[in-house]
Amino acid sequence: MVDKYQPLAILIDMIATTADVRSAASMAISAEGLVKHFGDVHALNGVSFEVPTGTVLGLLGPNGAGKTTAVRILTTILRPDTGRAVVNGFDVVSDPRSVRRSIGLAGQYAAVDENLTGRENLLLVGRLNHLSKSAAGTRAIELLDQFHLSDAGNRPARTYSGGMRRRLDLAAALVTHPPVLLLDEPTAGLDPASRQDLWDVIANLVADGTTVLLTTQYLEEADRLADRIIVIDHGLIVAEGTASELKSTLGETTVVLGFADAHAAGGAADLLCSLGAAVLANDAVSIAMPLRGGPATVRDALNTLADAGLVPQRIDLREPTLDDVFLSLTGASV
């Protein structure tokens, strides 16, 4: 049962005694057959995964895929209907307090107290964690500095930009040095520079041994940070692997031929469709053709075009991106 005070209880547990719960478990997170239905909505339909200690798992999926539901189960906010999850060696259903003490959570929507300053927010978390006033103060200064918030540290959080709030939220999750971090779309809505900053912070935490599960809709984020990626859609895992495995098994290298005008490009697309699914690109003056037959496909294509008096002006090779993989798996573009 989830009552309305549960999030506060969870916060207090989470920040109670995190420091003493580092575990030697080789799997920091293990989820087995997680199912969660909300009435007719099947948010999770049997999802299993493992996150080895000290690694990053990226949970990738379109809106409504079930990412936040998985995070809420792992943080003990929700109970699974069936299935089992163990975090830092503790079962989320039978030992939720130990789980909460093992984790830091930065949710999809930053949860900072708007009326407190950045420094006061961090001090509050430190004090709730039984840090002495001076230890909490020192940690707050460290974190404000680490997250480039020192100058804004004495301003109420309500005056912060979206990016600053997100940084403060992540800083608050780190006050107690939790061994396992759960980040639900940590950089949603941030500008590229702020996103890059947060990626650097997360990469540093991982280098120091923290285990991270992060959900994201930004493929570049998963590509950049995650050791392994799980793609979920409609509550089911539809693919998993490293970014390069996903790209090489599900994406295709494509050759793009550019022409002088749309007429030439259209003619080339007609000629080459027999060679391998050549399609007219959105710009109408180039065509894209998957290199299914390897480099020989390019030779054959150029010969066929030359015979018809068509010579491309540009030739580009496009390596598969995670966007291509995501699009082909879920039909959703991001």
When the beta carbons of 36 and 247 are compared against ligand ATP, the nearer one is 36
Contacting ligand ATP within 95-124 (CB under 6 A):
108
What residues form DSSP beta bridges with 49? 31
Residue in 64, 156, 241, 267 binding ligand ATP, rule: CB under 6 A: 64
Looking at 9-17, 61-69, 91-99, 129-137, which segment touches ligand ATP (CB under 6 A)?
61-69
Give SS3 for 215: strand
75 binds Mg ion (CB under 5 A): no
| Segment (H or E) for 131 | none
330 binds ligand ATP (CB under 6 A): no
b vs e for 39-68, b when ≥16 Cβ sit within 10 Å of the residue's Cβ? eeebbbbebebebbbbbbbbbbbbeebbbb
In the bound complex, what is the minimum distance in angstroms from residue 216's beta carbon to ligand ATP? 9
Residue in 69, 176, 187, 286 binding ligand ATP, rule: CB under 6 A: 69
Could you give the angle at which helices 118-128 and 133-146 cross, rounded to 10 degrees?
A: 130
77 binds ligand ATP (CB under 6 A): no
Please provide the DSSP assignment of 250-302 as one string.
H---EEEEE-SSHHHHHHHHHHHHHHH--EE-TTSSEEEEE-TTTTHHHHHHH
333 binds ligand ATP (CB under 6 A): no
* Tokens found for residue 215: 């959900």
* Binder of residue 63, out of Mg ion, ligand ATP, none (CB less than 5 to 8 A by kind): ligand ATP
- According to DSSP, residue 159 is labeled G
* Binder of residue 61, out of Mg ion, ligand ATP, none (CB less than 5 to 8 A by kind): ligand ATP
Residue in 12, 26, 41, 292 binding ligand ATP, rule: CB under 6 A: 41
How many chain residues interact with ligand ATP (CB under 6 A)? 13
* Tokens found for residue 94: 């039978």
Q: What residues make contact with ligand ATP under the rule CB under 6 A?
A: 38, 41, 43, 61, 63-69, 108, 217
